[in-house]
Structure 1
Amino acid sequence: MEGRTEAERRWVETTGFTAEAGTICLLPGASGGVERVLFGWDEGDPWCWAHLPVKLPKGVYRIEPPLTPASADWAALAWALAGYQFSRYLDRKPPECPRLVWPQNAHRAEVASTVEAVRLVRDLVNTPSSDMGPEELNQAAALLAERTGASLSSIIGDELLERNYPLIHAVGRASSRPPRLLDLRWGEALAPKVTLVGKGVCFDSGGLDLKTASGMKLMKKDMGGAAHVLGLAAMIIAAKIPVRLRVLVPAVENAVSGSAFRPSDILTSRKGLSVEIGNTDAEGRLVLADALAEADSEKPDLLIDLATLTGAARTALGPDLPAMFTPDDDLAAAILAAAEAEHDPVWRLPLWKSYRRLLDSKVADINNAPDSPYAGAVTAALFLQEFVSPGTSWVHFDIFAWNPSARPGRPEGGEAMAIRALYRLIAQRYPS
C-alpha cells in the first residue's frame, strides 16, 4: 500500500482485497470511474497476468511501476493469450477485451512473434476436419512460406509412391482427400541444419480398427504436431536464427474405404524396413517413420518431431505435460532447462531398450503396434527411433495439443505445448 492515499487505503480495506495472485482491486477516481487497479501478482506463476483482461472493465491500461524484462514479457504474453477466442464459426463478434499498453522493458518483437505462433497453433487445431484436411494444412504452410520468404514443396497422392514414401501413402490412400508430404525450407544452405517433423493426421477414424465415438470426438486435433512445427518455424524465422530450417509434415486422413490399409498388411518403409500392421489406429508413427527417414538422410544437426501420438502418454502424464524422448542426455538437459525457464513444462520418459522386443514381428522387421497393454508411449517412441540413425541429435515429443478445461490464458481447446521451450533451446544453441 506504499504511495496510496489514506482514502485509498480505507477503500482497499473495505473491499477486503488481500492481494492473492490474480485478484484485483479497482480504485475509483474523483469522477467516479476507475483511476487505478491494484493487482495481486505471484512471480512464480507468470500466468497470473492472464486474469487481468478477463476481470478488468473495458479500457486501456498500463503497468506501473516498470517490470523487469522477463516479467514485462510475461505480462504482455499472458494478457494477449488470455484474449484469444476461436470465433471463426460464430455469427456474433467476440466481446472486446481491455487493451494493454506495451509494458516498459518488454521484448516486443519476440513477444509478438510468440503470440502469433501460439494463435496459429490454436487456430489450426481448433478448426474442424471438414475445413482442415491435408489440402488445407498445405494451404496453411503455403501462407507461412509466403509471409516469411520460405520455400514450400508438396508431394501429393500417388507421387508419394513414385518418390518412395509408401507408409504415408498407405495411411492416407483410403480418403477422398489425397495424402501429401509438405516440405518447407528456410535459411542459408551452409547454416546448421535444424529439421522439424510434425504429425499431420487431419482426422483419425482409426482406419479399419475403427475408434469408438468417444475416441473419435477430438480427432480433429490429430494434426496438432503439424500445427506445432509450423508455429515453431514461424518463431525461428521471425527471430532470424541462423539455421537451415526444414519442416516436414506428412498430411493425411486415416479413413475407411475399400482401399484402406489392413491389419496384418506388411508395408515397406522409405528406410527399407518392413512393417507389419498390428493396428491401423497406430497410423501416426507410420507417417512419421517415412518423414523421419527423409529428415535423417540429410544428417541434421538437430532433429525434432512433435506428435499427438499415444493415449498412453496422457495416461502417464495427463493433458498438460508433454512426454519427451531422446537418447541424447545433453539435449534432454538443455530442453528441460529451457522448459523450466519458459514455464513451458515437459517431462522426459525413457527409451527403454528392453521394450524393443515388444515390437518384434515374426513376419516383418518390426510391428507398428504390439499386443502388450504396457508402456504404449515408450514403444511408440522406440518404433520411431528405428528410423533415426544412432548418434543423431533427435528428440520426440508426444503431446496432447488440447486444453480439456479453461485456465487463465489457456482457454479450452487447441493449445501450443513445448514450442516456447524449443524456441528458447534453438535460440541459445544457434546464437546470432
Structure 2
Amino acid sequence: MAKHETPLLSQLETGPWPSFVSDIKREAESRAKNEKGIDYQIPVDACEDLLGVLELSYKHGRTHWKHGGIVGVFGYGGGVIGRYCDQPEQFPGVAHFHTMRVSQPAGKFYTTEYLKGLCDLWEFRGSGITNMHGSTGDIIFIGTTTPQLEEVFYELTHTFNQDLGGSGSNLRTPSDCVGQARCEFACYDTQAICHELTNYYQDELHRPAFPYKFKFKFDGCPNCCVASIARSDLSFIGTWRDEIRIDAEAVKAYVGGELKPNGGAHAGRDWGAFDIQKEVVDLCPTKCMRYADGKLEINNKECTRCMHCINVMPRALRIGNDRGVTILAGAKAPILDGAQMGTLIVPFMKAEAPYDDIKEKVIEPIWDWWMEEGKNRERLGELMKRQGLQRMIEVLGVDPDPRMVQEPRSNPYIFWKEDEVEGGWKRDINEFRKYHKR
C-alpha cells in the first residue's frame, strides 16, 4: 500500500502519454520490495515521500522545495543543485534531495555497459530516478542526500572517468548534435569542437565567475537539431559559402517519381505525384530557385541556407564544399527580459582544430566584456540589447555586415563618433551642435 494518498498525481497517469508519476511509483515499489538486496545509501522511502511532497505542492498550488544555500563537492562551485523540502517532518525521505548534473559526452554516444553502470551507481547512492538529457542537456541524477555527494563524485571520476556538468553562474555543459558521425548535412565536426571546448574551459564550467549562466551549443547544419539559435548564448551553426551541389539526374528522378521526396519519410501515405515547383521552388523564402525545361537552377548569392530544398531532395542537392560555421550570440528564454533568438555576429568562420580563432577572437573577448559590463543575472543577450549591437561589434573587432541587421532602424537619431566621419559629415555635425547650443 502506498505511503501517501496521491489522487492529483494519479490524474497525470490517465492521459495517452507515458507519465513520470508512473515511473516514480515503479521505482518506489522496487525500493520497497528490494528484491536485489541493495544496501540503499539514502532513505528507502525517498521516492514515496517525493510523490507525497509533489501531491502537497499540487494541492497548495505552490512548491514545497526551498533553496537551502550552496551545497556541492569539494573544489567545485557547480554541478550540484541543492534541494531541501520545507516539510521535513512530514516527508523525511526527501528532507534533502539534491540533484547532480553529469556532463554528457559529445554527441551523446554511450555503451549499454556504461549506462548500466551509471544507473547502478544512482540506484545505490541516490533515488534511482534519472532524467536523460532534458532541457539542460546533461544526464540528471535526481535526488540524494548531502553525505552521498562526494561519494557519487568519487565514483564518477574514478570508475567512469566522467565529470560533473555545469550549474549556477558559469559555463553550462556544452551540447552538440550528432554531427558527422551520422549526418550527411553536417558542415563541421560538432563532436570535436564540443569536446575540445568542454575540456579547455573546465575552470569556467566548474567555478562560477560569470554574471549568469552561459551556454555553447553546436548545430552541424542550419537544420538546427539542438535548437542552438534559440537556446544558447553562443550558437555555432554549420554552413557553407560556395554553391549548393546539384545532381541533375537525381532531380529528374525526383520529378519522375523514381525517388521519394523527404527521404521517403511519408512512405505509406499517398500524397500524390511530387511537384517540384509547388513543393520546392515556390517555398524558397528568397525565391532564389528556378525550374524550367527540366533543369533546376539556384542563385546561390540569394540563398539563406534554409535547408528546405536539400531536405526535400537530399539525393539531388548537397551542401557546398567550402564549409565552416555561422556564429550567433544572445539567445535565451525569459529571465530579466523576454525570450530572444540569437543575433548573427560572425557570418562565416572556419571550424578547425584546435579552434584557436574561435577561442581568442570570439569567445574570450565576449566573456571579458560581459564579465566587466554585465549586471547580476543578466544574460549576454540582455547586455547586447542594453548596450547595442554596435558595442558587440566593437568588442569583437569585426566589420558591420548587413546580415547582422534584423530590421531597418526605427530610431532616426544616430550619433556618430568623430573618428568615424570625414569632410562634409563632420562639418554638418558641428553645425548641428552649434545650432543646439544656441
Instruction: Report the structure number with the largest CA radius of gyration.
Output: 2
RCO higher in 1 or 2 (8 Å CA, sep ≥ 6)? 1
Higher strand share goes to which structure? 1
Which bin holds the TM-score, normalised by the shorter protein? under 0.3
Query: What TM-score do you get using the length of structure 1 for normalisation?
Result: 0.23
